Homo-oligomer: A and B are copies of this chain.
Amino acid sequence: MTYGRTDICRYDDAVPGQPTITLDRSSPVPLYFQVAAQFEAAILSGALGPGERIENEITLAKDLGLSRPTMRQAIQVLVDKGMLVRKRGVGTQVVHGKVSRSVELTSLHDDLTQAGQDPRTTILGLERVPADETIASELQVAKGDDVWSLRRLRLISGKPLALMHNWLPVSLIDLEAHDLDTDGLYAVLRRAGIHMRVAKQRIGAAPASAADAKLLAEKRGAPLLTMQRTAYDNAGHAVEYGSHRYRPDLYSFEITLVDR
């Protein structure tokens, strides 16, 4: 059997509950990713329920016309996401418990948009300022060097949700306030060809200062959820440092941990 550039392989499983997988070998999207995405969709849609076992790797690979390593790689993607659990000698099954999207390398704006909300943003300030000790260290620039300072208030359904303060190296990008009105910071960076690769976050809690309280419509001293994040690009250079405050009644962090 020979595969042309536009071959499409379909695999209709007779077993009820097993999803229908479609492969497009002409697509630039890797095969393992195509398989993983379709299994993920099946799990999220409920076609594959919690605890349900999927076909074994070898059979799946054969039916789809793939090698076992490729099939394994596809399954591994979902195991890493905490959606599937492998049991040696037994098989692979969907995890119990409701599957929720885990914390990924996205901005708050992305998160909210994907959740079907309609986030709005007020720019409180965009200016170039000299980096203090902390900012210089996080962004790997010299103390006193100019950096962007961006302060924003994020609103959801008209209610203030988060107070965000970001710092970026001026060498990286020319920020314009009107770009940030409609899109999130990360969307602007992506358009400029800057892609995040690694980020380190610290999540804590702190009382609202008088200024915080006024902007977030809370009382002074009220508990706020805080997050500091430093993000790095492909080259490993610091791209952004942010210090944010969230209203805890409107926002929380969800994380899925997988032991390997």
Q: Which residues of A are at the interface with B, using a C-beta cutoff of 8 A?
A: 50-51, 69, 80, 82, 85, 87, 93-97, 100, 103-105, 138, 140, 195-207, 221-225, 230, 232, 234-238, 246, 248, 251-260
Contact = CB atoms under 8 A, between A and B. Distances in A.
Contacts of A225: 203-205
Given A87-B234, A198-B258, A201-B254, 15 more contacts: A50-B236, A95-B232, A96-B236, A197-B258, A200-B254, A200-B256, A202-B252, A203-B203, A203-B225, A203-B255, A204-B252, A206-B223, A207-B222, A207-B223, A255-B255
Contact of A104 (B197, B223, B257): B257
Contacts of A236: 50-51, 85, 93-97
A257 B223 CA distance: 25
A195 B203 CA distance: 27
A79 B184 CA distance: 27
A97 B200 contact: yes
A85 B198 CA distance: 8
Q: How many copies does the complex hold?
A: 2
Given A50-B236, A236-B50, A238-B97, A259 B104 contact: yes
Contact of A198 (B197, B201, B252, B259): B259
Contact of A258 (B85, B105, B234): B105
